[in-house]
Structure 1
Amino acid sequence: MIDAAHEAGVVLQTGHHLRSSPLVATAKRLIDEGRIGRITYMRLRQAHDWGGAAQVRGAFGSLAASGGGTLLDNGCHMMDLARNFGGDVQTVFGLMDTLKYDIEVEDTSVVTLRFESGALGSVENAWTATGWEESFAVYGTLGALECSNRLGKARLRFANREGGDTGWADLDESWYEFNGNDSGHRRGVVAFVRSIVEGTPVTCTGEDGRESVRLVLAAYESARSGQTVRLSLD
């Protein structure tokens, strides 16, 4: 698809909607502005239980039809978010299992990342989590960014010690909240159309999409072998 788009001179955008979420976009801006310093660690999580269904819906549980379970389904978005926040990944170590449903693919997974920058990260995905959760936390040498919908409407918290030494838990903080419940799907489509009509850069390139899948496949390889997998950046 990447080659075909280049050859045809057309716009290709990968549908990683979280890049267009105002919460993610705000976090990305704060990171790029250096507000949290050098990233040291991040935790990314997307998990649900299929709305309480007794079985995984549709063909999601079939390896032949889906190619993978929660790591591919949910984890591809988290892997893209990891790269969006932290840059290229150097190594991947994955653990996963099928712990709830009678299916051919994994329903629970945890993947540890080491970025080229030296930062560490954890990508957690599950179809075995009661309810629905989408969250991220990015920690740096000067501050932290935290966002979750687990306990209510998602808001972004920027915590820091710009006021000096304030104790273990008493931090300076700013909260970012947006109207509506836009996870980025609509904004992503609008951005795609604008790229076609106005020539603006796409929010997530075909190359970005390929890299998120490459990280997922490396995690599958790691889980099969029990070894850390190093990614080539060729």
Structure 2
Amino acid sequence: MGPMSPEKTIGFGIVGCGAIGRVHAAAIRSLPGARLVAVTGGPEAPARAQEWQCEFEADVQSLAGRADIDVVDICTPSGTRAEIVEIVAAAGKHVIVEKPIDVTLARADRVIEACRRAGVLLGCIFQARFNRTYRLVRDAVQRGRLGRPVMASAAVKWYRSQDYYAGAGEWRGTKQIGGGGALINQAIHSVDLLRWVMGEVERVSAFTATLARQIEVEDTAVVILRFGNGALGTIEATTAAYPGMPRRLELHGPKGSIVVVGDEITEWTMEEMRQEDYEIRASLEKRALSREGVADPTLTDISLHRAQLEDFVEAVRQGRPPAVDGMEGRKALELVVAAYRSAEAGGHPVVLPLTN
């Protein structure tokens, strides 16, 4: 599809009206030039339509068939998205899906192919990329400020009670619909950030365990990474760390180190300190660490979702790819799938890209 008039209001439909659907609805409704037209999905949808001052549609087909909807935003459980995307894309609607893109590479490929075949845009939500902190970090690494990176690590040590897994239709903590546990659902943002900042991963070794929750997937995972640039890395993920710690990202090289805690830079030290480095340090002294999502997933600031959805609106208007497209969503999923395969093989290394 080609570009649209810059004055056109972009109509949105939402499929899935649970906790994350609420975040997306708030973000869309705050966007100039966008309008939430209708919602569907789940028993709560009629009430949400009234709350969000939009219309209710009985099913995906009805929503996708509306002429006043340009984009369908899919916020359903992770392993349900491929079928919905196929319906929506065939109706000629642009698509944006929450992370992960789906739960298997085969299903992710169905999502990507449906949008390619229909000639519509596909985006995957990784809103952390729109955080100024991570953009500063990525820019520093790409400009060689750390020297050749030697180590990168991410830690997501959050807390989710047993009740968290028992609610929401009981799809959380399942393999078929949830796709996995702490790694694919909580840590996937950090998985994405690591490869976005550091580049592609070429080898993965992992161990997973279910230590505290009565679920069929992992509540704890440790992953060892070898990046294509030679650097080594780790990912630690758990939903059993009371009371929940702010997520952490560390990057180290022979010329500098950066540490991010709770999405705020707590260490920014370079061998050759420049004026820009002191300015970054000064700007961070007054900022508090974010504890968003560490124990309650409903406590989510909408500003980064809003920023990513704003980019998607502009992509639709301009006829350009969104900043985070379907292939980016697939790459994050591929790294998670590789980690799961390694864990199933007792930690045996798995080489990327995966061949099947």
C-alpha distance after superposition, 1:8-52 (max 9, x if no partner): 3322111111111111111111222222222111011223112xx
> Which residue of 34, 39, 46 corresponds with 2:149?
39
Residue 179 to residue 6, structure 1, CA distance change in 2 (3 Å): farther
Say which structure is richer in strand: 1
2:254 & 2:123 partners in 1: Cα distance? 33
AA of the residue aligned to 1:44: A
Q: Does 1:193 align with 2:301?
A: no
Match of 2:251 in 1: 138
Counterpart among 108, 119, 135 of residue 25 in structure 1? 135
Which residue does 2:322 correspond to in 1?
202
Distance 2:186 2:327 in 1: 19
1:162 paired residue number: 272
Cα separation, 1, equivalents of 2:123 and 2:316: 10
In structure 1, which of residues 4, 8, 15 is the aligned counterpart of residue 125 of structure 2?
Answer: 15
Q: 1:92 aligns with which of 180, 204, 219?
A: 204
The Cα RMSD (Å) is: 2.6
Q: Is the 8 A contact 1:11 1:196 kept in 2?
A: yes
Cα distance, 1:136 vs structure 2 = 0.7
> How far, CA to CA, are the matches of 2:153 and 2:260 in structure 1?
10
Comparing 186-195 with 111-120, greater Cα deviation is found at 186-195
Is the alpha carbon distance of 1:6 and 1:32 closer, same or farther for their aligned partners in structure 2, counting shifts above 3 Å? same
The equivalent of 1:216 in structure 2 is: 336
Corresponding pairs, count: 223
- Corresponding residue for 1:101? 213
More moved, 72-81 vs 18-27: 72-81
Greater RCO structure (CA 8 Å; 6+ sep):
1
**Is structure 2 residue 115 aligned with structure 1 residue 2?**
no
Equivalent AA in structure 2 for residue 14 of structure 1? C
CA contact (8 A) 2:210 2:218 kept: yes
Q: C-alpha deviations, 1:175-223, integer Å up to 9, x for none?
A: 2539797673221111111211234552222111111111111111111
TM-score by length of 2: 0.57
Over 3 Å counting, the alpha-carbon distance change for 1:100 and 1:34 in structure 2 is same
Higher radius of gyration, 1 or 2: 2
Find the residue that maps to 1:63 and give its secondary structure.
coil
* Structure 1: gaps of 5 or more residues: 164-171
Structure 1's 35 and 191: CA in aligned 2 closer, same or farther, altered over 3 A? same
Deviation at 1:129, TM superposition (A): 1.4
Tell me which residue corresponds to 1:56: 164
